[in-house]
Amino acid sequence: MIYILNVMEQILSQIDELIDLLNGAEKKLKSARNWGVVDVLGGGFLTNLIKHSKINSARDYMERANYLLGCLQESLRQVSIPAGCSLNIGTFSTFADFLFDGFVFDAYMSVKIFDNIHSVRELKRRLQDVRDQLSSSSFGGYVESHSYDE
């Protein structure tokens, strides 16, 4: 029984860590979105650099989250775990945003950033659903309400 409780505690901890990583990615994407607005309104090269720096930081969070998501899927074969997501902003989009810096590409990048924010939020929601489902199970509820040292 203690082994099962330890496993459940580790799984809930992994989900919490995943949600924290996704919160970090969302925060960076929101910042990139804000810089995207500045860029649409006439930013420039420096604005592009800052915006893409935020996007790259969000991508780092997402890579770590996808790794943990894979580990979680291994741990919970019987539970439906949401598939990972990656940022849908490729190198060509980044290259075009710098090369053809103008309203059209700036607006295109803003839409891509917004779509990625939505994907991150959806993945967080689905992970929270899995966490809630596990917490309400008989062992998960016990882990949530008791602390023990073993």
Nearest to 82 by CA among 123, 22, 121, 115: 123
Q: Quick: pLDDT tens for 94-139.
A: 777 766 677 888 888 889 899 999 999 999 999 999 899 888 875 5
What is the pLDDT of the chain when averaged over all its residues? 82
Long-range contacts from 93-100, C-beta under 8 angstroms, 24+ separation = 94/52, 94/55, 97/48, 97/52, 98/45, 98/48, 98/52
Q: pLDDT digit string (tens) for 14-40?
A: 999 999 999 999 999 999 999 999 988
Q: What is the pTM of this model?
A: 0.79
